[in-house]
Amino acid sequence: MLADALLKPGPRANAAKSALRRYDESLLPVYSIKEFKAGVLTKYVWLHGKLVTTRSWEKTLTQLRKSAMSPFRMRWVSTAIEALEAAEHKDRAITLGHLVGKYGALATPDVFQCDRYRLTLRRIIMRAWKKRRQLTSTVVHELSCYPEGDIVEERGLIELGEVDCCPKDECCLAEELRRHPESLLKMKAAIAGEPRKDENVKRSQVLRSLARPGHKLTTKQCRYLGDAVFAYFCPPDAIILTTNTTDLTPLAEALGKKAEAP
């Protein structure tokens, strides 16, 4: 939801914002901001960085094609394509005349396309991060071990800074999660009935470990929990708005809660 509302092309952003307007009160957990920054925003910044370093539209496309050949990079490429769609939809104000004035004879179509997408992506990224806490009526569940920080631009490259938690001992969510081990085991049981994909296996393992006394929740395991965090911390009388109902609905229903798509 956060990514759709702040980063995606028109129809998806409009659907997300329209869904939020259906409710008098909307809550955004900081865990969503953490996932947003470490996930889709990182991929947008990655593509922006390619445009900066190659200084060429054609070379950037070549990089994307090479990345698409790796099964481990397919999600990155898919999100990068969405970023290009968002940039195309967002802003067509940068004209060839503007770039000719800036670059003179070097304003080739390749340079034009590269700079157009680079500048528009920069605007989308910076605006999304600035607006992250303004989308809902309230931001809840601050994370004491997460340095939300800010993003900066250095030598043309966007630097996200820290994207993970930095706990002194363990994740700050651990103590609260341990209070209801039965809820953790209910979500684990729900996952058992779902497809055996990597993220489900990892989430199930962390839920099982947390339900046992003495387990320390690491930064990596905090990431593996993912949608289980939203299901666990959602108030009983609230509805989880998500674009990922496939994974979140079984977790929410295991706890007697509801998840809906925008």
Q: What is the pLDDT of residues 220-230, one digit of tens each?
A: 999 999 999 99
Residue 44, number of CB atoms within 10 A of its CB: 26
Distances (CA, A) of 18 to 21, 27, 116, 137, 138: 5, 15, 29, 14, 17
Which domain-ending residue is among 116, 132, 165?
165
Q: Which residues contact 95 (CB under 8 A, 6 or more apart)?
A: none
What's the total number of domains in the chain? 2
More confident residue, 256 or 105: 256
Same-domain status, 55 and 146: yes
Q: Which amino acid is at 219?
A: T
Q: What would the mean pLDDT of 166-193 be, rounded to a whole number? A: 93
3-state DSSP percent of the chain in helix, strand and coil, to 5: 60, 5, 30
Regarding whether 258 and 172 lie in a shared domain, the answer is yes
128 and 18 in a common domain: yes
Are the C-beta atoms of residues 62 and 32 closer than 8 Å to each other? no
In angstroms, the Cα distances linking 203 to 214, 221, 226 are 18, 8, 7
Containing structural domain, residue 93? 1-165
Q: Which of residues 123, 149, 165 is at a domain's end?
A: 165
Residues 123 and 208 in one domain: no
Q: Are residues 159 and 219 in the same domain?
A: no
Are the beta carbons of 255 and 235 closer than 8 angstroms? no
Structure tokens at 48: 């922006």
Say yes or no: 28 and 151 in one domain: yes
Res 94 pLDDT > 60: no
- Average pLDDT on 168-193 reads 93
Do residue 121 and residue 63 come from a single domain? Answer: yes
E strand or H helix that includes residue 217: none
Mean pLDDT of the chain: 89
The confidence score (pLDDT) of residue 69 equals 78
Q: Is the pTM of this model over 0.75?
A: yes
* Residue where one domain finishes, among candidates 112, 131, 165: 165
Distance of CA 45 to the CA centre of its chain: 12
* pLDDT of 137 higher than 90: yes
Burial (CB count <10 Å: 0-12, 13-18, 19+), residue 36: buried
Q: How far apart are CA 83 and CA 66, in angstroms?
A: 17
Whether 190 and 139 share a structural domain:
no
9 and 133 inside one domain: yes
User: Are 48 and 8 within one domain?
Assistant: yes
CA–CA separation, 48 vs 83, rounded Å? 9
Query: pLDDT tens digits for 27-37?
Result: 999 999 999 99
Give the DSSP H/E element, type plus range, for residue 139: strand 138-140
DSSP character at residue 212? S
What is the reported pLDDT for 72? Answer: 66
**Alpha carbons 211 and 67: distance in angstroms, whole number:** 39
**Are 100 and 217 found together in one domain?**
no
The answer to whether residues 114 and 196 belong to one domain is no
pLDDT 10s digits, 18-64: 999 999 999 999 999 999 999 999 999 999 999 999 999 999 999 88
